[in-house]
Amino acid sequence: MPPTPLIECIPNFSEGRNLVTLDAIAKAIQQVDSVQLLHIDRGEAANRTVFTFIGPPAAVIEAAFQAIQVASELIDMQTQQGAHPRIGACDVCPLVPLANISMEEVQRYAEQLGQRLGDALNIPVYLYEKSASAAHRINLATIRSGEYEGFAEKMKNPDWQPDFGPLTFNAKSGATVLGVRDFLIAYNVNLNTKEVNIANEIARSIRESGRLIRFTDGATIRVPGKLRYVKAIGWFIEEYNKAQVSMNLTNIHQTGIHEAYLACKEAAESLGVQVTGSELIGLIPEKCLVEAGQYFLKEQGRSVADIKEIVQEAISKLGLAELTPFEPNKRIIEWIADFADS
């Protein structure tokens, strides 16, 4: 019997406060056979919730459609507000090949889902990352610029007509970004300040895109930040009463979570503030925390063989439990999803 292909789906919904709505979305996912809902990460101030589930491709696509359909019925973007940038009830829906399936194969499933969302739910759908239909649509931030409030006007530009769905904006549900990408870590570093401008200055200094410098003659130059494969912005989270540097680590093989943390720490200290800990959004592969733990142990001149002890070292040194308890059995993909028989 051939091994079972597995993909991961991580839809981000523009709702973090209404528990009835979030429960309905969760049930829509769980009712699909062969799909395992691994984690729900709710952000009240961001007003955003990230669901993570895995399964065989056809089942995952069905679960994604059912979840987005429920969201389109229960979330009204005309009244939605939150700290996180967004363009729709289901703002973005990434698909990640996990095992026994290629990017190209997952791409075909992404297109099937996009077509169905557009036809059945009247949602404009934009393909991004590995699925992008044009170079200017690869980057999520570029598609999302203008956010929900500016998207109806943006869609009038021929360059921003959707890949699937109606050519006019859906005021209630907004638009959805969909596509295949590599594994990504959503990761926030906590600061001992409420100042968003300081968090943004740290973000500019560490993110790959860096900062845009304007000269008096009108000329501009972009100075890259310290870390490759890192996207970052600064924001203030009211429920934590502190500013954060919010990051996406888009290539975990090139830039590790500990490197992002240390770069933020160095930049923060240069501005007279301190990093107090960090926050993982969603799930993380074991290797990322193992690499971080090994780095911190090496800095102490220590060597540890036990994987769980190495992971605990990473959790401690990264301050992952500062805001909420960090339970590795619920946050590390391999520890909650058994791929052994896949």
- Separation between Cα atoms, residue 9 and residue 99, nearest integer Å: 13
Q: Of these residues, 39, 84, 253, 258, which one is catalytic?
A: 84
- Separation between Cα atoms, residue 83 and residue 290, nearest integer Å: 32
- Separation between Cα atoms, residue 307 and residue 98, nearest integer Å: 22
**Is the separation of the CB atoms in 323 and 242 below 8 Å?**
no
**Is the separation of the CB atoms in 10 and 96 below 8 Å?**
yes
**Is residue 39 annotated as part of the catalytic site, yes or no?**
no
- Separation between Cα atoms, residue 244 and residue 233, nearest integer Å: 8
Dump the DSSP string for 294-337: HHHHHHTT-----HHHHHHHHHHHHTTTSSS---HHHHBHHHHS
User: Could you list the active site residues?
Assistant: 84
